[in-house]
């Protein structure tokens, strides 16, 4: 396996994921700065996710025509510009708009990078390559809260975001030098979104992506708020515990890559979704600080396991000509409902009941959705 491109792809995914989750550790500060309710602050992630999902669909359809490399590079440059714009925004509506634009810029990455990744490596190495690539998201989840806490000792929260914006201008230069442009399939039939929506596997993978995204990034978005305002944990301590609890996800993604190649994606998919649901239920029931820390660690580690499996499943169930659009559509479904709607629903539930009730319901739904894996069709490749 060629290692240098894989490490560069890893760095890109780390930065892309960081730009989408960086608001979560800052959410108590953003909420106080803009005078928002829990539901309104959770709604920011809805705008981010809607923009992200639209870009997934558009880039999934047109990335091969635009050029996969060009699509990735332009997306990062636009993300950096949004971070610059956030330095002067005080209006909630304008903040919403810029977060929406950030979602659009960040959403160009996955549909374009997956064909590059699977085109760079042989199919027998996909589990390992995708697993290593996806471990970047886990490390981002681990380090971003720690980075934010550290940065806030020296800079205002807007200036901390500007550092991420600077990285968005620099890293694509290295990517351009080491990556390849996947070859277009000659004579391949062009699929439309309607063609994909007629497939049963699209609806099943979409459902699995919704509950898994909701239990991972959706829940992640409001956990600092939950820990600080419902469990009464100090802001800095909550973000530190929150960050360190994510360390297991760095290793589980790499391990899962080997397990996929060894035991198959179906078995690993069922186990990962069931484990995610059960660990989310455990998190909702945790009360004391030690139990909360253990539950955070287990839930974070197990929920991350789905994503390398999910990307491998998408690659196995599609031909190369279908891969970008299928990835864009499936992830878009998960992002809109899982990463976008779930934080708002959890915030709404917290305003009327408690975060605990919402998290418990999410865990139960996720655990039962593991039964849907048996309905997936056979792999294409």
pLDDT digits (tens, 9 = 90+) for 127-179: 778 878 888 887 887 788 778 888 888 888 888 888 888 889 988 888 888 87
CA distance 117 to 248: 24
379 pLDDT above the threshold of 60:
no
In this structure, what CATH number is given to the domain that contains residue 340? Answer: 1.20.1250.20
- Determine the Cα–Cα distance for residues 246 and 320; give it in Å rounded to an integer: 33
What pLDDT shows up at residue 381?
A: 46
Q: Tell me what pLDDT residue 380 has.
A: 44
pLDDT of residue 321: 67
DSSP label at residue 197: H
328 contacts 240 by C-beta, under 8 angstroms: no
94 contact partners, CB below 8 Å, separation of at least 6: none
Q: Residue 29: what pLDDT? A: 80
**Mean pLDDT across the chain:** 80
Four-CA torsion 135, 136, 142, 144, nearest 10 degrees:
-170
pLDDT at site 1: 55
Q: What confidence tens digit (pLDDT) does each residue in 20-43 have? A: 888 877 877 877 777 777 667 767
Res. 54: pLDDT tops 50: yes
Residue 355 tokens read as 């975060």
Domain coverage including residue 147: 3-177+192-375
Residue 319 within any structural domain of the chain? yes
Q: What is the pLDDT of residues 345-367, one digit of tens each?
A: 888 888 888 788 888 989 999 99
Domain count, the chain: 1
Residue 137 within a domain: yes
Q: What is the pLDDT of residue 191?
A: 62
The tally of CA atoms less than 13 A away on the side-chain side of residue 236 is 5
Domain assignment present for residue 292? The answer is yes
183 in a structural domain: no
Q: Between 322 and 169, whose confidence is greater?
A: 169
Residue 34's pLDDT is what?
75
Q: What are phi and psi of 280, to 5 degrees?
A: -70, -40
Residue 381 covered by a domain? no
In a domain, 182, yes or no: no
Confidence of residue 94 (pLDDT cuts 50, 70, 90): confident
Average pLDDT over residues 314-325: 73
Please tell me the predicted confidence (pLDDT) of residue 184.
61
> Is pLDDT of 221 > 80?
no
The pLDDT value given to residue 243: 66
| pLDDT band of 187, cuts 50, 70, 90 | very low
How far from each other are the two terminal CA atoms of the chain, in whole angstroms? 20
**Residue 79 pLDDT level (bands cut at 50, 70, 90):** very high
Q: What is the pLDDT of residue 76?
A: 92
Residue 91 in any domain: the answer is yes
Q: Closest Cα to residue 373, out of 253, 257, 202, 208? A: 208
Q: Decide if 75 is inside a domain.
A: yes
């Amino acid at each position: 396996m060629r290692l240098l491109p894989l490490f560069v792809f890893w760095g890109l995914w780390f930065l892309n994921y960081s730009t989408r989750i960086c608001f979560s550790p800052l959410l108590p500060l953003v909420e106080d700065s803009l005078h928002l309710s829990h539901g309104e602050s959770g709604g920011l992630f809805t705008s981010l996710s809607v923009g992200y999902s639209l870009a997934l669909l558009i880039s999934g359809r047109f990335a091969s025509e635009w050029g996969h490399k060009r699509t990735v590079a332009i997306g990062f440059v636009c993300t950096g510009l949004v971070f610059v714009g956030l330095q002067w925004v005080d209006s909630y509506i304008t903040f919403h708009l810029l977060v929406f634009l950030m979602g659009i810029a960040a959403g160009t990455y996955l549909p374009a990078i997956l064909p590059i990744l699977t085109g760079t490596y042989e199919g027998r190495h996909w589990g390992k390559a995708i697993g290593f690539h996806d471990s970047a998201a886990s490390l981002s989840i681990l380090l971003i809260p720690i980075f934010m806490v550290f940065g806030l000792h020296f800079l205002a929260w807007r200036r901390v975001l500007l550092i991420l914006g600077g990285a968005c201008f620099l890293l694509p230069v290295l990517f351009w030098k080491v990556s390849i442009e996947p070859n277009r399939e000659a004579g391949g039939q062009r699929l439309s979104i309607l063609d994909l929506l007629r497939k049963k596997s699209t609806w099943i993978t979409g459902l699995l992506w919704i509950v898994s995204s909701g239990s991972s990034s959706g829940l992640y978005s409001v956990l600092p708020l939950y820990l600080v305002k419902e469990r009464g944990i100090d802001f800095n301590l909550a973000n530190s515990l929150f960050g360190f609890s994510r360390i297991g996800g760095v290793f589980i993604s790499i391990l899962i890559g080997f397990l996929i190649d060894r035991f198959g994606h179906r078995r690993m998919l069922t186990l990962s979704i069931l484990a995610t649901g059960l660990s989310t239920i455990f998190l909702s029931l945790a009360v004391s600080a030690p139990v909360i820390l253990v539950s955070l660690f287990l839930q974070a580690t197990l929920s991350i396991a789905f994503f390398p499996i999910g990307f491998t499943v998408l690659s196995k169930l599609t031909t190369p000509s279908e891969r970008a659009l299928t990835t864009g559509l499936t992830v878009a479904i998960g992002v809109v409902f899982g990463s976008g709607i779930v934080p708002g629903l959890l915030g709404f539930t917290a305003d009327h009941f408690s975060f605990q009730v919402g998290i418990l319901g999410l865990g139960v739904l996720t655990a039962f959705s593991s039964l849907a894996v048996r309905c997936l069709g056979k792999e294409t490749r």
